[in-house]
Structure 1
Amino acid sequence: MYFNRLKELSTNPQLVARLKFLVRDVLDLRANNWVPRREEVKAKTINEIHSEAEKTLGLRPGATLSIRNARAPPGAQGNLGPGGYPINRPGTGGMMPGMPGARKMPGMPGMDNDIWEVPRSRMPRGAQQPLIGKSPSLNTRLLPQGSNVSMSGRSSALLQGSGGPPVRPSGYVSGMEPVSQVPVPVKLSPTSTVLPVAEKPQVPAARSNPEELKRKTVSLLEEYFSVRILDEALQCIEELKSPAFYPEVVEKAISLGLDKSPPRVEPVAQLLEHLFAKKVFTASDLATGCLNFASQLEDLAMDLPKAPANFGEIISKLVLTGAMDFKLVNEILQKVTDDLYEKDLFAAIMKAISSSPTGQGVLDSQAPDVEACKNLFQ
């Protein structure tokens, strides 16, 4: 009943293939009277291996044991392992007959009657046996033409050396070395020709966009009016890398400073004085910037009535520091078209200079130019 159930399982398609084969193996084993089809493979002992070797080679039982005992060194016979075979013997080589290092069996090639190996003498590779009674031969084609040298039994005089003196060259002088007649070619060192390096044409610096410069100028001036750090403002102006734009920086500084509430008269004057002292701005930059602002003063004064007076204070400080003189003041006054604004501007300049300790000296040194400015209002 059980085996019928196993037969049904072996044909069941829902059963895993591995289980199907296991069931079939059980059925086949029962059909073969429980005798496996293949002999079970397992490890063999050393005694079984030697017994099989003796049967294969046709030796008497125990022959391998006697051979191995004979090869053992004196005093090592007592050190035997299981089955009577010696163990831990140095230099025994292989364990099986016929393996490298094992002793050969009786009747095998290379054995004498006492069952000892016969050493074979071998010639070194490439060595030749000496030829007895045979004189060395020379190739006559290697000798000069016309030489009557006997080649039988004796070596040539060219090889052993003749008794005659060596032949000297025709130009030989005693005590001197022969002079070589072959001309030695003179190796001329190549002269390195230095070619003139063509200088690259200098590419003019690309001009910055005017709108971009104006935007940067307004930004740095606004920052200066907030923090009032002169060195930082100087660095920002130098980073513009556009000296031609400096007059517009002067004009924009005055315009933004006076448009503040309250007007930044003192910060603007300090900034212009600092940049002039550091030689960032030139007198021409200051003059051009102030002239441009003066031409727009009338429009600005309509919204900022105090702009002419504040502008006059800035000019007075530049005059006191030597950045301007009254000749330039005369030109600035002429740029203002409105007489009222012109008078307010000049009055603010004279008041600020007169109130300064060094102002009187400046007025005296430039008296003709000061008088020319006064004549504009007559």
Structure 2
Amino acid sequence: VKAKTISEIHSEAEKNLGLRPGAASRATGAVGGTSPVGGFPINRPGAGGMMPGMPGTRKMPGMPGIDNDNWEVPRRGSISKMDPLSMQPGGRMPPPVVGKQGPFNSRLLPQGSGGIIAGRTSALLQGSGPPTTTPQSQYPGPAKPLPVPGFSKQSEPVALEASDKHPPAAKVNSADLKRKTTNLVEEYFSIRDLNEALQCVEELKSPEYLPEFVKEAIALAFDKVPPCVEPISKLLEFLLAKKALTNSDLVTGCLEYGAMLDDIALDAPKAPSNYGELMGRLIVAGILDFKLVQDVLQKVEDTYYRKSVFDAIMKGMKSSAVGEGILGAQAADIESCERLLS
């Protein structure tokens, strides 16, 4: 159902009451908003004036608008009137003045205020000059960092001393050294050239590998058929005389081979007697002694292999006059070796 307008309501009222057309509108003063006499508006209270929103009423500020059908429509909010000069970009109000001092009378300054107002001295201080210290700001700045004891900005960094130690040597490639050892020993057994063998040992350039070289050379000599006991004995004596080997290298290599003798003898039953013959030759040459023989026998677990080593040593010693003299000089060590055979 469509709502009726004021004009339609007036027309219907005039028709029902038998009035002339326009009488209802003139009675309420809706047309033009003035009275039929004098042209004064009839909109004061108690005078039968027009109600707000009726057609023909005077539009007051803030009142809703009227559409084409004389119906009220809401108006958009009006923008508050502000001084454009006092507005900041973005419509923000200027911030209030903080810390602004009001007017004061320099003659009414209290004592103890310092008398410093606008750079002048108070008259109550009777000629006293301005204070020597500058007044501090109301908002002090950031606190200064406290000095750290023993630290100075001017101190220069201390250069670290370089280590006196040499860098660690590269790790020995045992597989490569073992291959070179096999080649030079096999070549020596073929041509029996001690000087060339010496040069090859020096080219190894690995002093820590020399005990292993002694052990490998002994094992290669005993693998030959017949065993190369005499050639390997001459090679070790020559390398020791040329200082390509040390006595410690030779002793360590002999002990390492003795520790393996139980396993080696399983495949080479003559290895214990060959090893005893080699040690007898080195003892006669004055390189080894029976104290080392005692240590070697302690590393051999099988008593039979121990006896084979010791018997071969004694056989070589008794075959020469030099050996006979050594047997008498080292009789105590020989007895210690004999006790290990039982």
1:348 — aligned with what?
A: 312
Displacement over 6 Å in runs of 4+:
197-201
Shift of 1:203: 3.6
Deviation at 1:253, TM superposition (A): 0.6
1:216 aligns to what?
A: 180
Give the match's secondary structure for 1:279. Answer: coil
For 2:162 and 2:296, locate their aligned partners in 1 and report how far apart those are by CA, in whole Å.
50
2:254 maps to 1:290: yes
Give the Cα separation in 2 of the matches to 1:352 and 1:201.
48
**Structure 1: tracts of 5 or more residues without a match:** 1-196
Q: Structure 1 residue 367 and structure 2 residue 331: aligned?
A: yes
Q: Following TM superposition, by how much is the alpha carbon of 1:202 offset from its aligned partner in structure 2, in angstroms?
A: 3.7
Q: Name the residue aligned to 1:3.
A: none
Question: One-letter code of the match for 1:257?
Answer: A
The percent of aligned pairs where both chains have the same amino acid is 54
- Structure 2: unaligned runs, 5 residues or longer: 1-160
Q: Distance in 2 between matches of 1:205 and 1:377?
A: 44
What aligned pairs does 1:143-292 form with structure 2 within 5 A after superposition? 202-292=166-256
Write the deviation string for residues 112-167 of structure 1: whole angstroms up to 9, x where unpaired: xxxxxxxxxxxxxxxxxxxxxxxxxxxxxxxxxxxxxxxxxxxxxxxxxxxxxxxx
Distance (Å, rounded) in 2 between the aligned partners of 1:296 and 1:282: 22
1:126-137 mapped onto 2 (5 Å cutoff):
none
Q: 1:299 aligns with which of 241, 263, 281?
A: 263
Tell me what 2:105 maps to: none
Instruction: State the distance in 2 between where 1:201 and 1:351 align.
Output: 51
The residue type paired with residue 364 of structure 1 is G
CA distance in 2, matches of 1:200, 1:250: 33
Instruction: Give the aligned CA root-mean-square deviation in angstroms.
Output: 1.8
Output one character per residue of 1:217-266: Cα deviation in whole Å (capped at 9) or x when no partner: 11111111111111111110111111110111100011000011111111
3-state SS, counterpart of residue 258 of structure 2: helix
Structure 1 counterpart of 2:278, one-letter code: I
Structure 1 CA distance, aligned partners of 2:175 and 2:291?
A: 33
Q: Secondary structure at the match of 2:204?
A: coil
Does residue 1:311 correspond to 2:299, yes or no? no
Moved more, 202-211 or 327-336: 202-211
**Shift of residue 287 of structure 1?**
1.1
Q: Which residue of 286, 295, 301 corresponds with 1:337?
A: 301
Q: Distance in 2 between matches of 1:285 and 1:372?
A: 24
Q: Which amino acid aligns with 2:299?
A: K
TM-score by length of 1: 0.46
> Who is 1:106 aligned against?
none
What CA distance in whole angstroms lies between the structure 2 residues aligned with 1:329 and 1:211?
Answer: 30
Q: Distance in 1 between matches of 2:171 and 2:187?
A: 24
Letter in 1 for 2:322: T
Counterpart CA distance in 1 for 2:274 and 2:172 is 32
What's the secondary structure of 2:340's corresponding residue?
Answer: helix
Alignment: residue pair count: 182
Whole-Å separation in 2 of the counterparts to 1:198 and 1:309: 56
Q: Compute the displacement of 1:206 (Å).
A: 2.6
Q: Which amino acid aligns with 2:242?
A: K
